[in-house]
Amino acid sequence: MIYREIGKTGKKASIIGLGCEHLDGKPYAQVQSTIDAALANGINIFDIFMPGKEVREHIAQALGTRRKDIMIQGHIGSTNIGQQYDISRDLPVVQRFFEEHLRICGGYIDFGMLFFIDSEDDYKNVFESGIADYALKLKEKGDIGHIGFSSHNPLMAIKAVNTNLPEIMLFSINPAFDIIPTEESIFTHLDNGFNADSFVGIEPKRAELYRLCEQKNVGITVMKALGAGKLISPEHSPFGKPLTVAQCIHYALSRPAVASVLPGSKTPEEVRDIVQYLTLSDAEKDYTGILSAVRGGLHGSCFYCSHCQPCPSQIDIATVHKYLDIAKLDTAQIPPSIRAHYQNLTHRGSACTECKSCENRCPFGVPVIENMQKAELLLGY
């Protein structure tokens, strides 16, 4: 395993970590064998955002005295209603869930992550409320080692980093989320193809965020490095053909300030497949070939570039597509977190009035209206 500094925290993370979401609902024996495999392979950072008591207890039990050998990202504001994942900004509820997590983890969580800072409301309700103060108190008391946050939105992430409160950020990074041709370069990209040299198509705000993190020494840990499986799927890859797991990991690890990539694994075999990355040659990890052949795969595929905005109904079209694309991977088993995220949007696909202005602006021929209806159908209930 290779270890990298996590920003200014003074801690070092294995470059491959464990996202624990897919352990939710699994039998204890499976949780234990997956965790055993992670530790045996040198993984020392886990993300546990799930609010369920059972999965938290399973993980703690599987770790046992090895709790001290790993670092945990625990999320402040991740709660549930019934068995559904939810986000709360209600301080007593937030405290109840986080303090339960603390207790289960032996009274200490390495990184207290302010959960899901994706909108202005999220930002205000966390950073300008008692929740940020709560995180500070947790740190002062020594219940958490460092304050962090999670986000999928570069604009909000920039605001959060600029508060100078967080030392670590969990952010969704992969080539599909990152390639955002600017207005000037869209057609250049289409005409010339996405060759490695032109792969400056990282959306400027994302590039700014990565730079800011590096500048402020805020370590980044990565979620959704495989686009929830979309990028490694022959059918769903937006690049015409699938990337390998190693190429996705390598891409994320190549971004500035990134310390660790935390793919979700639910079996020992999946853990071992992912850590194979460490044994591969540079040529086997290189992703530029696939990205340079991208032209044929573009049409009809959403690149989350928001070139179609503004929407008169204020739908965040790119975000709806991100959730829809993940849901379409396996409509029989849509991750509860994706459904919850979609339902938390202020303006969902159901608000679409079919005005067509987005479709006229989209450079990739995405059938937005049809997709808004699909999103509502798959994720709205």
| Site residues (vs ligand SF4, CB under 6 A) | 302-308, 311-313, 315, 317-318, 321, 352-358, 362, 364, 366, 368-369, 372
Give the torsion sign (CA, 345, 351, 355, 356): positive
The pairing of beta strand 71-76 with beta strand 45-48? parallel
Smallest gap from residue 288 Cβ to ligand SF4 (A): 22
Tokens, residue 94: 């937030």
Q: Which residue, 346 or 353, is less far from ligand SF4 as judged by CB? A: 353
Q: Is residue 145 within 8 Å of residue 13, measured between CB atoms?
A: no
Q: How far is the CB of 254 from ligand SF4 (least distance, A)?
A: 23
Nearer residue to ligand SF4 within complex by CB, 192 or 353: 353
Q: Tokens at residue 158, please?
A: 């920039």
CB 221 within 8 A of CB 73: yes
Q: Minimum Å distance from CB 115 to ligand SF4? A: 25
Q: 348 and 375 in contact (C-beta within 8 Å)?
A: yes
Q: For the CB of residue 316, give the shortest distance to ligand SF4 in the complex, in Å.
A: 9
What one-letter code names the amino acid at 381?
A: Y
State which residue, 76 or 320, has the beta carbon closest to ligand SF4: 320
207 vs 351 by CB, closer to ligand SF4: 351
> Closest CB to ligand SF4 among 291 and 358?
358
Q: How many residues are there in the chain?
A: 381
The whole-angstrom separation of Cα 132 and Cα 323 is: 28
Closest to 350 measured CA to CA, from 358, 360, 342: 342
Minimum CB distance to ligand SF4 smaller for 98 or for 303 = 303
CB of 312 to ligand SF4, least distance (A): 6
CB of 359 to ligand SF4, least distance (A): 6
